Amino acid sequence: MMSLWTLSEIAAATGGTASADFAVTGVAFDSREIVPGDLFIAMRGEATDGHKFIDRAVAAGAAGVITEQPIDHPHVLVADSAAALTALGRAARDRSQAMIIGVTGSAGKTGTKEALFHALDRMAPGSAHRSVKSYNNHVGVPLSLARMPRGARFGVFEMGMNHAGELAELTRIVRPHIAIITTIAPAHIGNFANGEEGIADAKAEIFQGLEPGGTAILPHDNRHFARLHAAARACTDTIIRFGSQPDSEARLIDSIAAIEGGSLVTAQIGEARLCFRIAAPGEHWVMNALAVMAAIEAAGGDLAIAGLALANLPGLAGRGERLTIATADGGEALLIDEAYNANPASMAATLAQLAKEPAPRRIAVLGAMKEMGETSDHYHAALAAPVIAADIASVILVGDEMAPLADALSNSLEWHGTIAHVPAADAALAALRAQLADGDAVLVKGSNSVGLSALVRALAQPPAGGALAQKGV
């Protein structure tokens, strides 16, 4: 396997002092993820110190270590390991000849990033690279860059933020040729004094890192479009709008439910009119797909191949993966795993999709939406409308922040289902198991810190002594 980094390259990039010669084929800062040939970056964090796990990393096969203290293993000694990781990410970007695409937005970042990767990888097998998981912050972005192979033709990087200024720093490291904003919604709104406008401004920072002649891709239907457009125009002359507006460069013409599942979409992408299927269901995925197609067009890619990739896009754990799970009565139920993240817009979108599931009974397990600030009660109570519209038989609400929603439903004449308000994920699991039956469709959605992913894992395990195993739908 071709080396990803040599000792001399690592030392030159980080300004560190090299020991015995080595070369690496991968990079990691979590000793549990080390595979033979990796570079282990020992970083000091808030909870623990990576230097404590150097011996474990080497035993797992690490070929070398970036460290802040002398060790007996092959290493590069630096003053600050976190700064060294950032420097390595910058060096990876500097040497790369790849077409770089950056993705941000209040919702849909990871799904759009994954869809882009699958489309590009289908066009150029083995030559596309992307950030894994949700490595989209000040540590994850440099790590994802540092992992980019020398010969990559395409790189897709997700960038996130909780506060103003964070994306400006990240995008200047990534330096995308194409920058996408998926949508603007009240995610992390508690961190912004001027509400959604502040979120729009912070997301628009992604354009500040665009390479000369780069392309900005914007959600034309979003109510903050004019604000985003002005920010993009300050950084580039090339702007592509996606949405349902008559003058959108990537324009939705029609979308209907596909027989095979998902959506059948007709769209105008530049000069091309396309009909393609999206495996992932939901109107929000239709818009994500338009952004993907716009980026593929801007990158000079093959739209037909991208359409095939969208039709075969695998489900993403925590972001819409569909699982068949066993029920206590010997039957099966559909579990829709949206446990990784939640904000008002994504809650409404996934509840609307739940309403379309052909199930005799629909259940929603909804976790609190975090970082909503002083507006938290308002936004949680406002979920009553999409919950009622989804014709849900039972709702299990998790976390103190969900009290306003519980009250709103209890006081609504339109609500005819049952309500359970519980403090944590373990209680939600018990409440769900007590009522889960054959044929049910269950949505599990909440902010990651609520811990509903543990509930999903527990439900996805086959019952002891049972033959039914987890399977994708």
Rg (CA), the chain: 23
CA distance 433 to 427: 10
In the chain, the amino acid numbered 467 is: A
Which tokens belong to 392?
A: 């849900």
Q: Residue 137 CA to chain centroid, in angstroms? A: 12
Which tokens belong to 387?
A: 């919950």
**Is residue 335 a contact partner of residue 324, using CB atoms and an 8 Å limit?**
yes
Specify the pLDDT at position 465: 42
CA distance 183 to 436: 34
CA distance 267 to 246: 11
Specify the pLDDT at position 369: 92
Class of domain 96-311: alpha beta
Q: Which residue, among 341, 345, 339, has the nearest Cα to 365 in the 3D structure?
A: 339
Looking at 3.30.930.10, 3.40.1390.10, 3.40.50.720, 3.40.50.300, the CATH number of the domain 5-87 comes to: 3.40.1390.10
Would you give per-residue pLDDT tens digits along the chain (473 residues)?
679 999 999 999 999 999 989 999 999 999 999 999 999 999 998 788 999 999 999 999 999 999 999 999 999 999 999 999 999 999 999 999 999 999 999 888 999 999 999 999 999 999 999 998 778 889 999 999 999 999 999 999 999 988 889 999 999 999 999 999 999 987 666 666 677 899 999 999 999 999 999 999 999 999 999 999 999 999 999 999 999 999 999 999 999 988 877 889 999 999 999 999 998 888 889 999 999 999 999 999 999 999 999 999 877 777 888 899 999 888 999 999 999 888 888 899 899 989 988 899 999 999 999 888 888 999 999 999 999 999 999 999 999 999 999 999 999 999 999 999 999 999 999 999 999 999 999 999 999 899 999 999 999 886 554 433 333 33
Q: How far is CA 152 from CA 35, 129, 156, 456, in A?
A: 21, 7, 11, 35
Which tokens belong to 295?
A: 């980026």
Q: How is 234-280 classified by DSSP, letter by letter?
A: TT-SEEEEEESSTT-SEEEEEEEE-TTSSEEEEEEETTEEEEEEESS
Element (H, E) at 425: helix 425-435
pTM: 0.84
Q: Which residue, among 13, 31, 298, has the nearest Cα to 142 in the 3D structure?
A: 13
Specify the pLDDT at position 267: 97
Whether CATH 3.90.470.20 fits 321-461 = no
CA distance 153 to 428: 45
In the chain, the amino acid numbered 260 is: E
**Is residue 425 a contact partner of residue 346, using CB atoms and an 8 Å limit?**
no
CA distance 314 to 302: 20
CA distance 321 to 369: 20
Q: Where are the domains of the chain?
A: 5-87, 96-311, 321-461
Specify the pLDDT at position 469: 35
Specify the pLDDT at position 192: 67
